Amino acid sequence: AQSVTQLGSHVSVSEGALVLLRCNYSSSVPPYLFWYVQYPNQGLQLLLKYTSAATLVKGINGFEAEFKKSETSFHLTKPSAHMSDAAEYFCAVTPSSGNTPLVFGKGTRLSVIA
Amino acid sequence: KAGVTQTPRYLIKTRGQQVTLSCSPISGHRSVSWYQQTPGQGLQFLFEYFSETQRNKGNFPGRFSGRQFSNSRSEMNVSTLELGDSALYLCASTNGQGQETQYFGPGTRLLVL
């Protein structure tokens, strides 16, 4: 079975500061990992995904995440926050094979302060 | 390519009623998954349909059901609505082969009074 823990339901950063959103996963088989972003009154948009190729994954809008198997982590970072990054971010896991559903974390709301 | 579309976007119902939500996947996608999003429980998987067959099912009561048509459009139905069914219902599509990226629609926000 898979599970995801996102540390911090709410993270607040200043504009221009580093963004770090934490995600730890549990999986009994090699995982695929995803980060999605949700803006108010919208669906989920894929930021980036890890599918067992490079451990450092670059996504849209300047975000990246590093898969660390030893730490079972897939933290999301962005060097410099922008006001438009304010949204809710979800980490998700699924086994790397088969056709099983995504399991999502509870989400982290990112606020960016001017 | 057009994205995933969901109709209606907003819905208000009263307890005991039933509701049907619709999802049109990205053209060529054969798999549609449904999720319920609430502030308390987060995103929870309801079910997945692939080629008109339910392939995966989450842990929801039988009041929640779905179906998929030959054109891959999917509907989900909730009968005998309860207050706790108020949520954002999201659907996502893939072409259904392996663990690909799921592309989400904008959701249907259901309010049960």
The pLDDT value given to residue B25: 97
> Are the beta carbons of A42 and B106 separated by less than 8 Å?
yes
- Give tens-digit pLDDT for A43-57: 999 999 998 878 999
Half-sphere exposure of B68 (CA within 13 A, CB side): 22
List per-residue pLDDT tens for chain B, 113 residues long: 689 999 999 999 999 999 999 999 999 999 999 999 999 899 999 999 999 999 999 999 999 999 999 999 999 999 999 999 999 999 999 987 777 889 999 999 999 99
Taking the CA of residue B12 as centre, how many other CA atoms within 13 Å lie in the half-sphere pointing to its CB? 1
Are A112 and A17 a contacting pair, CB within 8 Å? no
A50 interfaces chain B, CB cutoff of 8 Å? no
In this complex, the residue of B33, B42, B50 whose CB is nearest that of residue A106 is: B42
Partner B contacted by A40 (CB < 8 A): no
Q: Which of B48, B55, B90 comes nearest A43 by C-beta? A: B90
Placement of tokens 């962005």 in the chain? A78
CA–CA dist A86, A73 (Å, integer):
23
Set of chain A residues whose Cβ sits within 8 Å of the Cβ of B110: none
Contact B21, B75 (CB under 8 A): yes
